[in-house]
A and B are shown apart, each in its own frame.
Chain A
Amino acid sequence: MNLHSKLQANAANILVIVVASLLVFHLSIQAEPYLAIKNNLKCVSCHVNPIGGGLRNDFGKKYGQNILPSKANQFDSATMAKLTQYLSIGADARFNANLQKNEAQTNNTSKGFAVDSAQLYLHFMIPNTGLSFYFDEQVAPGSAINREAFVMYNFAENSALNSNYIKAGKLYIPYGLRIEDDSAFIRQATGMNFDNSDSGIEYGINLKQTSINLYITNGTSQATNNDDNLLYGARIEQLFSQFRIGASAALNDSTQATKLFNIFAGVQFGNVGLLGEVDYLTIEAANTSTKQDINQLVSLLELNYQWRKGWNFKLTAEYFDPDSNVDENEQTRYSFISEYTPLSNMQLRLGLRVKQDIPQVPEQNYDVIFLQSHFYF
């Protein structure tokens, strides 16, 4: 079979799988630090993007096909995803069924089905150069939105800059634990989530048990930079035999300067994994009345228990203090989620969340039950 025929055959197979999978319920593992902690691996072990999320590499695909699910399919998804030796693709698609009720007196209930998100990934490598192009496009719901588009250069393994990389373009910012849930306080309050990529440059240092990321970006999320100021930051993570610890810091020296700092950690005891993050955020002169800084405290603690192959139970407790100078304004959120991966490339999640805010904001006091299906490839 020549290259052209092989390409066509692979593309046809992949298209069938993607379309078929989009027709059923699904929910996915976009980036799940608990899996990295459980296996004592770095994000780059499973993802093309060294800081995690998005397209999975060969190992990540094999893990999602063979190790994660209760029952593994026979096909080799890693091979299927490689259109050629240097061009690979991937996808994530999430479909949700939600029932939510808040404490407002009217319009307090919502229920229904929704395509939560669908992404397509593309990774193109220039042979024998270390140079590659990575593309992450959200194609649903609504019009397409680019989430990441960057060029990355990986230094040769035996060079002085062994396995380091540099990337430039639109990218996720390396910050804290890259959990899948963008609505978690640690991702929402910091704005460091999958919906908030930024344009800039990142340099990554990959040592055996250590990852270090340094970056400069616009600091304006997806918008064009509107001033002379930039966002500067760093993230470091150190792995040990059964646990890991890390820290991140970011400074956006804009008209209203913001500072972000966190520490995070993860530990695994048999089938039980525990991970946590604490963030301390400062927004300069943000108090419109006193012109004082506003300091915020955010935390997440997550427990994962693998009951049996293909089954994971997740319990999270979150805390958010939006202004440490103000009493009785704290918010909490608790979640219980059961994750079932019956087959390769498909995960189902059933979850219950309880969000609590001050009584004056009844819309932000709510309970939600959701069923998600996630197709991943």
Chain B
Amino acid sequence: MKVPLWFVVLLLLLSGCNAGSGEGLDEQGRPLEEITMPPENNVIQATLPSIQQHVFTPLCSTCHGGVNPAAGQNLSTLEHSIASLINVDSSNTLFKRVLPGSALESYLYLKVTGDSRAGARMPLGQPALDDESITAIRAWIDAGALLPQNNANMAKISRINTTIAKIEPITEAENYNEAFSQLEDFWPAQYVLTSTFWFNKAMSFDYLTSNQILVHSYQSNAAFAQPILVADEHISLHSINSHSLQINVSGLANNISKLTIQLNDGSISTLTSQNGQQLDGDNDGIEGGAFHYEFTF
């Protein structure tokens, strides 16, 4: 059976149509009457809604959206982006897709900057993101990957960073090493633990005091270690900014094997966002619940 080539070509050309005119639609291709949020500024900001509007929706969601998003990562809406990015494992097991507080350890940032550890640069097959967009993404992550205050997602702790510092005994002896070795026998070195808690929303730390935080230590030389409540005077709080809180625990002996910190215990005090939303400490999707953090020495 012979079919003229022109006929097939005609079929082919007729199969496609023109793209939509976009009349009555916003820049996400949605009807204007559906829009409930005010339009964002035309210049990209270091906020998730702005990055969503300027980068994720127009560029990324082409592949990372729809019925089967590429790499299981849906960036088509703000809610999907939150669920797909923040503290979610990436295909490179060394990285989270977004690690709040550290863009350089976030796969998303590595992807859009073309870092060789992250494979092909995104957006795939398209021009690289402009400097303003990359800067906004980095600033958003470095600032803690905050969610919009009015977002329905629970206020949560998104990242904890802990360091230990050794405090040497103080002596005025000229031979420091000799004095130190003598002192250490009856005055062992002490440790200070500093934990920084990152929150996904701006919080109210104004009325938070050290006695509202429960810190327990466990001694390593005990056969069945019992928790010992760390006294208030060894706990100090420092609000770094509206969404990160530093807790210092001092006077820790060198035989401690484990330390636990408990925040948001409803019987003592609760932490709330600046919008009055209680911290979802137990991560059950409902406001409230204590948050337990355990650090092993």
Contact = CB atoms under 8 A, between A and B. Distances in A.
Count chain B CB atoms within 10 A of each CB in A109, A242, A270 and give the residue with the most.
A270
B19 A358 contact: yes
Contacts of B66: 188-191, 281, 283, 296, 322
Interface in B15-41: 15-27, 29-31, 34, 36
A221 B74 CA distance: 11
B169 interface: no
A14 B73 CA distance: 37
B130 A107 contact: yes
A44 interface: no
B223 interface: no
Contacts, number: 190
A223 B117 contact: no
A319 B3 contact: no
B116 interface: yes
Interface residues of B, number: 58
A356 B18 CA distance: 8
Count chain B CB atoms within 10 A of each CB in A192, A193, A330 and give the residue with the most.
A330
A317 B8 CA distance: 12
A326 B24 CA distance: 10
Q: Is the interface of B mostly helix, strand, loop or mixed?
A: loop
B67 A331 contact: no
A266 B13 CA distance: 17
Interface in A200-228: 219-224
B47 interface: no
A143 B117 contact: yes
Interface in A323-366: 323, 326-332, 334, 356-361, 363-366
B72 A326 contact: no
Nearest to B80: A256
A364 B67 contact: no
Interface residues of A, number: 78
A163 B92 CA distance: 37
B164 interface: no
Contacts of A358: 19-22, 25, 29
Interface stretch (A31-39, A53-61, A80-88, A98-106): A98-106
B12 interface: yes
A334 B12 CA distance: 10
A289 B27 CA distance: 16
A331 B19 contact: yes
A209 B12 CA distance: 27
Interface in A263-306: 269-270, 272, 274, 276, 281-283, 287-290, 296, 299, 301, 303, 305
B162 interface: no
7 A-B pairs with least C-beta separation: A191-B68, A358-B22, A142-B119, A317-B16, A356-B19, A110-B127, A221-B72
Interface of A: 98, 100, 102, 106-110, 116-117, 138, 141-143, 145, 183, 188-193, 195-196, 219-224, 242, 252, 258-260, 269-270, 272, 274, 276, 281-283, 287-290, 296, 299, 301, 303, 305, 315-319, 322-323, 326-332, 334, 356-361, 363-366, 368
Given A283-B67, A319-B15, A319-B17, 5 more contacts: A107-B130, A196-B68, A221-B69, A222-B91, A332-B19
